[in-house]
Amino acid sequence: MGPRTTGRAVGVVVLVLAALLGSAYALGRSLLDDPPRSGTGTTASVHGAEYGEQSAGGPSPEGTPSGRAEAGQDGHRAAESLDDGLFGSRVTTGSSEVALTFDDGPDPQYTPQVLEVLREFHVRATFCVVGENVQNHPDLIRAIVADGHTLCNHSWKHDVQLGQRSPNTIRADLLRTNQAIRDAVPDAPIAWYRQPGGAWTYPVVSVAEELGMTPLHWNVDPSDWQAPGATRITALVTRGAGPGSIVLMHDAGGNRQGTVDALHRILPDLTSRFRLEALPVDGIT
Ranges of beta strands (E only) in 36-146 are 99-105, 126-129
Q: CA 56 to CA 248: how far, in whole Å?
A: 14
Q: CA 103 to CA 196: how far, in whole Å?
A: 9
> Is 103 a catalytic site residue?
yes
pLDDT of residue 284: 58
pLDDT of residue 52: 44
User: pTM to 2 decimals?
Assistant: 0.75
Structural domain span for residue 107: 86-273
Longest pairwise C-alpha distance within the chain? 97
Q: Which amino acid is at 134?
A: V
In a domain, 147, yes or no: yes
User: 12-51, pLDDT tens digit by residue?
Assistant: 444 444 444 444 433 333 333 333 222 223 233 222 333 4
Could you tell me how far CA 95 lies from the centroid of its own chain?
19
pLDDT of residue 8: 52
pLDDT of residue 193: 98
In a domain, 68, yes or no: no
In a domain, 166, yes or no: yes
pLDDT of residue 56: 39
Catalytic member of 137, 149, 154, 250: 250
pLDDT of residue 77: 32
In a domain, 235, yes or no: yes
In a domain, 57, yes or no: no
Ranges of beta strands (E only) in the chain are 99-105, 126-129, 150-153, 190-193, 214-215, 246-250
pLDDT of residue 86: 87
pLDDT of residue 85: 84
Count the domains in the chain: 1
> Is 137 a catalytic site residue?
no
Q: CA 138 to CA 125: how far, in whole Å?
A: 18
Cis peptide before 106 (omega within 30 of 0): yes
In a domain, 20, yes or no: no
Q: Which residues, given as ranges, of the chain have pLDDT below 50?
A: 3-7, 9-83, 285
Q: CA 98 to CA 251: how far, in whole Å?
A: 18
Task: Give the strand pairing for 150-153 and 190-193.
Answer: parallel
In a domain, 165, yes or no: yes
Catalytic member of 84, 103, 221, 251: 103
What CATH number is given to the structural domain containing 198?
A: 3.20.20.370
